[in-house]
Copies of this chain bind each other. A is one copy, B any other.
Amino acid sequence: MRNTLDTPLEVQAPVSTCSGCRVYELCLPFGLDSEGTRRLESLMLPRTRVKKGATLFCQGASLETLYAVRAGFFKTTMITQVGRDYISGFHMQGEMLGLDAVTAERHFCNAIALEDSVVCGINFSQLEQLSQEFPALQRNMNKLMSQEVVNSRSILFMMGSMSSDERLGAFLLSLSYRYGIRGYSPYFFSLRMRREEIASHLGLRKETICRSLSRLRELSLVHVSGRDVEILNLPKLKHYVAGCDRPSP
């Protein structure tokens, strides 16, 4: 991995620079040489601010640009003709938005900011071309895609075989882990989404989320006040989520 100090210090450029990014290692430029990083940066669109509640892209829109979350928090939602909707994921810094659009070349979901956010955009065709030249970039694309598959599968597994309490626990663990690898505390964090949004994502109802929160609290696994979460006993929570407390069928 390249040391970011190799990069000459520059005044704040008008375009996105990956070199100085907090979550560089989690994103596209990871492992690229300086030439590759420079080329990638030259393709990046200027950083874009997305206001809380604003939509970054819409389901069905043709895929032009892939985005990486630079700062802030997003949800992705899917909506059917009959108005049912589903929150397919939450995305924090260093995570890509729009990877599910590559097959159909149309966005498969809406991306909506849950707080004031900043995204780095890159034209997908140009990215594909560039990744032709830089194996590391291609590899990162593949890994990021594959990671998306794994994430979806994990939630599927949860939905298919876990109780509401366990699902919520797993969800909190996922957030905890993701904050952790970004250098934030895995024990204290704040939820950026409403209970109802958690519920949709986990295939439950907001009332159920409340009740499950209460139960996790009673078990002294977490402390939750409003949107502030404290994981009181991480190993115990992991153990609980793994289902070791239940008789296996």
B103 and A146 within 8 A (CB): yes
- Pull 26 A–B residue pairs with CB atoms less than 8 Å apart, ordered by A: A80-B157, A81-B242, A82-B242, A82-B246, A82-B248, A84-B161, A86-B156, A99-B149, A100-B146, A100-B150, A101-B146, A102-B143, A102-B145, A103-B143, A103-B150, A108-B150, A128-B135, A132-B132, A141-B142, A145-B145, A145-B149, A152-B152, A152-B156, A156-B159, A159-B203, A160-B200
Q: Identify which of B81, B128, B153, B249 contacts A152 (C-beta below 8 A).
A: B153
Determine the distance from Cα of A148 to Cα of B144 in the docked complex, in whole angstroms. 13
Q: How many residues of A contact B (CB 8 A)?
A: 52
A104's nearest neighbour on chain B, judged by CB, is B150
Contacts A82-B244, A161-B203, A203-B160 given: A138-B131 contact, CB under 8 Å?
yes
A129's nearest neighbour on chain B, judged by CB, is B135
**In the complex, what's the smallest C-beta–C-beta distance from A62 to chain B, in angstroms?**
14
A155 near B: Cβ within 8 Å? yes
**A156 partner residues in chain B, CB cutoff 8 A:** 86, 88, 152, 155-156, 159, 203
A109 near B: Cβ within 8 Å? yes
**A100 partner residues in chain B, CB cutoff 8 A:** 146, 149-150, 153
A243 and B103 within 8 A (CB): no
A235 near B: Cβ within 8 Å? no
**A152 partner residues in chain B, CB cutoff 8 A:** 149, 152-153, 156
A84's nearest neighbour on chain B, judged by CB, is B161
**Which chain A residues (187-244) contact chain B, with CB distance < 8 Å?**
200-203, 242-244
